[in-house]
Amino acid sequence: MKRWVSYMLLTAVLAFSIFPMHTEASPVNGAFHFGFKKSQNGQLPSIDQEGFKSILEHNDAIFLGDTKQKELYLTFDNGYENGYTPAILDVLRDKKVPAAFFVTGHYLKDQPELVKRMAAEGHIVGNHSWSHPDMTRVSNEKLKTELEQVKSEVNRLTGQQATFLRPPRGIFNNRTLAESHAQGYINVFWSLAYKDWDVNVQRGADYARQQVLKQLHPGAVILLHSVSKDNTQALGSIIDEARKQGYAFKSLNELKTKSY
């Protein structure tokens, strides 16, 4: 019962993890919701109009890879387990594709064996905070605790350092990026995403495949949620089609060039 209650509470929190294509600045804490102009027909997405480009640049945050190379960086957010991650890992293993999985404290406590498997099969286990808060509304001390708890547990389970960080719900401000960067974290946003996180609104594998493929562009950092049945069923065909188009899948560890 306790696990079920925790699952439902986290599901409710993640239900607000919408990926806006615009940004909203808070007059209270200067917060931004990460957003971008979507890629179409292979053109590059843009954050120029969003008002936070300089903040990301100043704090060495990642949004794109090298836009001159047909390279893709596959990332998953794992707030909780919905039964699909084993199948996702199977596809990645069979297709020899590296990925990054951003995990919460709930996931680490609930699915330690899957976290170990991620690392054992060559994937990055990233930091998605311990309790998935809006980090712009917590103190620097609390922010550090949130990140260190995940980092410590990931290291205990896998030996990895979990220094790649995805801010919960894509909410950030200059303080949170600067503070986490000073602690040695690399904030990772994304340049390709769609509304895939709502487990009650799944539209089929073909829909997921179309949503991803129509946004492909050089240097794309792809955000998918592992709770999505659609993503799981479409992943193999997405990888195959991307490769047919000349793209190669790379690890975040290989991402050295940022273009905004």
Q: State the catalytic residue, choosing from 33, 106, 225, 230.
A: 225
230 annotated active-site: no
Is 98 buried (19+), middle (13-18) or exposed (0-12) by CB count in 10 A? middle
- Out of 77, 134, 196, 230, pick the active-site residue: 77
Q: Among all residues, which ones are annotated catalytic?
A: 77, 225
